[in-house]
């Protein structure tokens, strides 16, 4: 289906700083695999997209002058930690052609077919010291459409930092220059522990505690073996407004109204509990992600390039409460979790990570010498990330804005991303993964309960 024409290593077009760049404590706790993203472009009015692989290569090499850490390599050090060598070894760019038409990929649900559109690394045979930190695959389709599939190291950047880089590359590809306010900030010591090393013992931090198990189970092995399916669900502007209305019905004013994310995510959590049909006394938690750029003191520069996100965990709730109480209950629990990520919460978490002799158990990959799946966050729990505020649809390489941007892979039960719908202002798209046995019921309840709650 996919034929590769070329694969190149792209290095910075000018000399860049050489040496070690200290990673933050948050970087050290991140998964060391790569996050895949697909960016889809279609020709406008049957006009041919003015694509040039040489322009893509040259603009990428120029972007790496500013984002030079991406051209480096990671190395293992003591305690399961990593260090970054800024050595300009380069990133990988591949040009590919698809025999299948773009329309054959449907709505770009992150399933097996979509995985042909982004670069992959065999983590079992390639050492981390050899792995590029950013890989891109540009796939051309018979219709003239394009897919820019990227994979960026989780250690290097969170979603906002990754999109800042991708948009900077696209701007250079358009022949424009980067402004002073678009330059990345590379000092990651701002998110290091403020105690070196911590002088006091630290108990387990809530961000690293294990989520509840199914009643009667001592581990997650049986649930992890169950088949999963991915889906993309569209939520219209009217449906979003209806959920916000319901979430805010029981709010004691003058409290700040629940956002569309809080309302939609609360609804998702309830529906997941409903289709999993567990005991009413089943405990469950939701894992969210908080951007801490403006939560830590002093605030981080907006151009901070690295990981500036932190897990926000709800308190443990019961199925019975989530399903019997109004939507405001679930939305309120989500808000409480996000608001708990304060400067004190963040600094205590940084101290906790720094205090660990081995950070391997904290990382999203438990086995640091070989690739493993991320820790199981599924049944009876959910992970709901918000991509609503990310500048996903600003990525214009000179071909116009993309028609779709979304995750390249989603295979962990209970994991979901809430994104903007580019075709309909105010509408949302939810990329989700659930056990296959639950998916059809989830879709039914999700839409039906918007109006029946």
So which residues are the catalytic ones?
A: 154, 396
**d(Cα 134, Cα 156) in Å, to the nearest integer?**
9
DSSP type of residue 383:
E
Q: How far apart are the first and last CA of the chain?
A: 45
Radius of gyration of the chain (CA): 22
Cβ–Cβ contacts within 10 Å for residue 170, how many?
Answer: 23
Q: Is 408 helix (H, G, I), strand (E, B) or coil?
A: coil
Strands 146-153 and 82-86: unpaired
Distances, alpha carbon 298 to alpha carbons 23, 55, 269, in Å: 19, 39, 34
> Could you give the strand order of the β-sheet that contains 91-98, starting from the edge strand earlier in sequence?
2-10, 91-98, 134-140, 146-153, 34-41, 404-407
Cβ-contact 426, 234 below 8 angstroms: no
Distances, alpha carbon 340 to alpha carbons 202, 241, 293, 336, 410, in Å: 18, 26, 15, 6, 28
**d(Cα 434, Cα 419) in Å, to the nearest integer?**
18
Q: Which residue blocks in 99-236 are alpha helix, DSSP H?
A: 159-173, 221-224
Beta bridge partners, 184, equal: none
Which among 436, 420, 438 is positioned nearest to 273, based on CA atoms? 438
**d(Cα 385, Cα 400) in Å, to the nearest integer?**
27
Phi, psi of 155 (to 5 degrees): -65, -30
Residues 6+ apart with CB under 8 A from 305: 67, 69, 156, 157, 161, 164, 165, 184, 185, 186
Cβ–Cβ contacts within 10 Å for residue 92, how many?
Answer: 18
């Amino acid at each position: 289906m996919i034929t590769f024409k070329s694969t190149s290593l792209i290095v910075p077009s000018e000399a860049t700083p050489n040496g070690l760049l200290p990673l933050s404590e948050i970087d050290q706790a991140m998964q060391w695999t790569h996050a895949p993203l697909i960016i889809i472009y279609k020709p406008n009015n049957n006009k041919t997209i003015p694509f040039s692989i040489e322009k893509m290569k040259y603009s990428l090499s120029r972007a790496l002058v500013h984002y030079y850490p991406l051209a480096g390599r990671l190395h293992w050090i003591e305690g399961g930690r990593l260090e970054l060598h800024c050595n300009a070894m380069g990133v990988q760019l591949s040009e590919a052609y698809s025999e299948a038409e773009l329309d054959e990929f449907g709505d770009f649900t992150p399933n097996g077919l979509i995985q042909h559109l982004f670069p992959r690394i065999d983590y079992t045979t390639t050492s981390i010291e050899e792995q590029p930190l950013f890989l891109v695959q540009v796939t051309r389709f018979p219709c003239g459409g394009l897919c820019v599939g990227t994979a960026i190291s989780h250690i290097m950047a969170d979603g906002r930092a990754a999109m800042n880089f991708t948009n900077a590359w696209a701007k250079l590809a358009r022949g424009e220059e980067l402004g002073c306010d678009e330059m990345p900030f590379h000092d990651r010591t701002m998110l290091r522990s403020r105690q070196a090393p911590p002088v006091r013992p630290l108990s387990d931090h809530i961000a690293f505690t294990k989520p509840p198990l199914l009643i009667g189970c001592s581990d997650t092995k049986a649930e992890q073996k169950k088949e999963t399916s991915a889906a993309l669900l569209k939520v219209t502007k009217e449906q979003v407004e209806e959920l916000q209305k319901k979430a805010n019905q029981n709010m004691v004013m003058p409290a700040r109204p629940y956002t569309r994310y809080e309302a939609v995510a609360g609804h998702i959590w309830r529906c997941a509990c409903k289709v999993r049909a567990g005991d009413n006394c089943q405990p469950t938690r939701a894992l969210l992600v908080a951007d801490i750029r403006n939560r830590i003191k002093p605030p981080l520069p907006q151009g901070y390039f690295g990981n500036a996100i932190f897990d926000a965990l709800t308190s443990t709730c019961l199925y019975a409460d989530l399903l019997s109480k109004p939507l405001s209950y679930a939305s309120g629990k989500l808000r409480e979790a996000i608001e708990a990520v304060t400067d004190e919460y963040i600094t205590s978490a940084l101290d906790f990570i720094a205090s660990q002799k081995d950070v391997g158990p904290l990382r999203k990959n438990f086995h640091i010498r070989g690739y493993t799946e991320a820790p199981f966050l599924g049944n009876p729990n959910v992970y709901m990330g918000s991509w609503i505020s990310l500048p996903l649809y600003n990525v214009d390489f000179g071909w116009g804005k993309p028609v779709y941007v979304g995750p390249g892979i989603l295979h962990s039960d209970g994991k979901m991303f809430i994104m903007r719908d580019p075709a309909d202002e105010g509408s949302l798209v939810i990329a989700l993964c659930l056990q296959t046995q639950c998916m059809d019921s989830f879709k039914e309840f999700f839409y039906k309960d918007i109006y029946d709650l």
